[in-house]
Chain A
């Protein structure tokens, strides 16, 4: 508890208004939130400097879950490293795999066959839905609403069942391989997905019924953790947080990967950039994901699911940066090859890590309870922050 917060405000030129000083100055309180705290979504430690309940500054201490993923990559072959990426953002493992596989494919200059791309899109979007559902449940729980957690976990279960049927794993799926997909869809895959598409929209309505117009929910989230579009860009914040601030930017549209350019979907955006808008953006994103999945299931072509990939992958010397729109923002892989079987360097650009940096800007001058709401709304996964 005795830790001193660093004096320097982190982002000094973002013009943070000095919090009002009261005439009768109370003692400033330094509180250590985490690393084991029910609302920090893992092992995040936030040191809060408080004036009463008002936050004067924060400092994040991270790294408790650091496993040296990037170092591991340098000592594994391209194929062997593939399962490791699932362990970063473990609630959206499929997205991680997609990003890595596409980055290496680009380095190898090969392309996955169309059917594989469709399978990838379906699974990735399902995973986005699952990730958002998990976010919604935990975020609502942080703000004090218990019930949505159970509703979202019930429906997330259906997605995980599809994953399990497809590749045998529920969480760390390792669903994709470099060059395509390892597994052909199982019998009844389309039926399962279609069934899921039919029953989930009413369930999303159900979540919204509990929260969207709930007075307390609106009061707890409106004008909380506001961040402007300019600040978002300056801080490199991406994903739903950026979109909630009004920037219509989604890598799926801006720099399409896989075969997202073939699908018709919209980018939901917010106006105020507050927690409520981020909530609404993610809720709409869930619906858009369903839309993409429906199109993909209907249009999925027959054909091979694996491109011709050499047994021993030796990408030519070179480097490539490839990023995808993960549920949490821009997930990028910067892969450097020295021509050997092992990547010379794999740099992961983790959305959670970069987004977490905005926490300080978002909570200054707000109350302790808002810190919880903002940590929730940033949708961080500490496995990805710390890697």
Chain B
């Protein structure tokens, strides 16, 4: 399928991502923040699609937007919203914030000045049709170890959560 209006979609989705990011940190109501985050994740999924990574985009939607964010909302709804809404949202971490912003800005400037030379140029546009297969081969071949480490980490997290939540097992 021939790409349509690529530039427009790129800027549109990027802008949406940025906007939702700003909304996430400025909304006082945590539920609104979470909803903005979902919007950002969806926009990111669109960006993945534009990078010819449909599988990642699909997984992004299923896992992040559909699964994890719902659990986020779940937790946010169970804590007392009225109280957290009245509390001062911004804690006194201006210094750390400014440092992080400066560092990130420096990185951006670096990337901008060095240009695309920083990244290996894609030799060819990967074939879209077997994208999923390629990811699978990479995950279970080249990056097998990292993949298994990640799953082990998650397993530990699950067990930890169960232990914390349940007195008797």
Q: Does A24 contact B (CB under 8 A)?
A: yes
Q: Does B164 contact A (CB under 8 A)?
A: yes
Query: What is the distance, in angstroms, from B81's C-beta to the closest C-beta of chain A?
Result: 11
Among residues of A, the one whose C-beta sits closest to the C-beta of B168 is A20
Among residues of A, the one whose C-beta sits closest to the C-beta of B165 is A24
Q: Does B6 contact A (CB under 8 A)?
A: no
Which secondary structure characterizes the binding site on chain A?
A: loop
Question: In the complex, are the beta carbons of B167 and A22 less than 8 A apart?
Answer: yes
Question: In the complex, are the beta carbons of B164 and A23 less than 8 A apart?
Answer: yes
CA distance A359 to B168 in the complex (A): 29
Which B residues from 50 to 98 make CB contacts under 8 A with A? Answer: 78, 80
Question: In the complex, are the beta carbons of A23 and B78 less than 8 A apart?
Answer: no
Which A residues from 26 to 79 make CB contacts under 8 A with B? Answer: 26-27
Among residues of A, the one whose C-beta sits closest to the C-beta of B167 is A23
Choose one: A20, A21, A23, A27; the contact of B165 (CB below 8 Å). A23
Query: What is the distance, in angstroms, from A54's C-beta to the closest C-beta of chain B?
Result: 14
A-side contacts of B114, CB under 8 Å = none
B-side contacts of A26, CB under 8 Å = 78
CA distance A21 to B165 in the complex (A): 11
CA distance A361 to B166 in the complex (A): 26
CA distance A22 to B168 in the complex (A): 9
A-side contacts of B165, CB under 8 Å = 22-24
Query: What is the distance, in angstroms, from A135's C-beta to the closest C-beta of chain B?
Result: 37
Among residues of B, the one whose C-beta sits closest to the C-beta of A21 is B167
Query: What is the distance, in angstroms, from B158's C-beta to the closest C-beta of chain A?
Result: 15
Among residues of A, the one whose C-beta sits closest to the C-beta of B163 is A23
Question: In the complex, are the beta carbons of A24 and B164 less than 8 A apart?
Answer: yes
Among residues of B, the one whose C-beta sits closest to the C-beta of A24 is B165
A-side contacts of B167, CB under 8 Å = 20-23
Question: Tally of A-B residue pairs with Cβ under 8 A?
Answer: 15
Instruction: For chain B, give the interface size range.
Output: under 10
CA distance A27 to B83 in the complex (A): 13
B-side contacts of A27, CB under 8 Å = 78, 80
Total interface residues in chain A, CB < 8 Å: 7
Contact with A along B132-167 (1 / 0, CB 8 A): 000000000000000000000000000000001111
CA distance A24 to B164 in the complex (A): 7
CA distance A161 to B165 in the complex (A): 59
Query: What is the distance, in angstroms, from B1's C-beta to the closest C-beta of chain A?
Result: 46
Query: What is the distance, in angstroms, from B50's C-beta to the closest C-beta of chain A?
Result: 42
Query: What is the distance, in angstroms, from A19's C-beta to the closest C-beta of chain B?
Result: 13
CA distance A69 to B168 in the complex (A): 53
CA distance A27 to B166 in the complex (A): 16
CA distance A20 to B169 in the complex (A): 13
B-side contacts of A21, CB under 8 Å = 167
Query: What is the distance, in angstroms, from B9's C-beta to the closest C-beta of chain A?
Result: 43
Query: What is the distance, in angstroms, from B139's C-beta to the closest C-beta of chain A?
Result: 34
Question: In the complex, are the beta carbons of B166 and A22 less than 8 A apart?
Answer: yes
CA distance A351 to B67 in the complex (A): 50
Among residues of B, the one whose C-beta sits closest to the C-beta of A23 is B167
Query: What is the distance, in angstroms, from B86's C-beta to the closest C-beta of chain A?
Result: 17
Query: What is the distance, in angstroms, from A384's C-beta to the closest C-beta of chain B?
Result: 40
A-side contacts of B166, CB under 8 Å = 22-23
Query: What is the distance, in angstroms, from A28's C-beta to the closest C-beta of chain B?
Result: 12
Query: What is the distance, in angstroms, from A163's C-beta to the closest C-beta of chain B?
Result: 52
B-side contacts of A23, CB under 8 Å = 164-167
Contact with A along B93-133 (1 / 0, CB 8 A): 00000000000000000000000000000000000000000
CA distance A22 to B167 in the complex (A): 6
B-side contacts of A22, CB under 8 Å = 165-167
A-side contacts of B80, CB under 8 Å = 27
Which B residues from 14 to 39 make CB contacts under 8 A with A? Answer: none
Identify 10 new A-B residue pairs, CB closer than 8 A, beyond the known A20-B167, A23-B167: A20-B168, A21-B167, A22-B165, A22-B166, A23-B164, A23-B165, A23-B166, A24-B164, A26-B78, A27-B80
Q: 15 A–B contact pairs at CB < 8 A?
A: A20-B167, A20-B168, A21-B167, A22-B165, A22-B166, A22-B167, A23-B164, A23-B165, A23-B166, A23-B167, A24-B164, A24-B165, A26-B78, A27-B78, A27-B80
**3 cross-chain pairs, A with B, having the tightest CB-CB distances, nearest first:** A23-B167, A24-B165, A26-B78
Which residue numbers of B lie inside 8 Å of A, CB to CB?
78, 80, 164-168
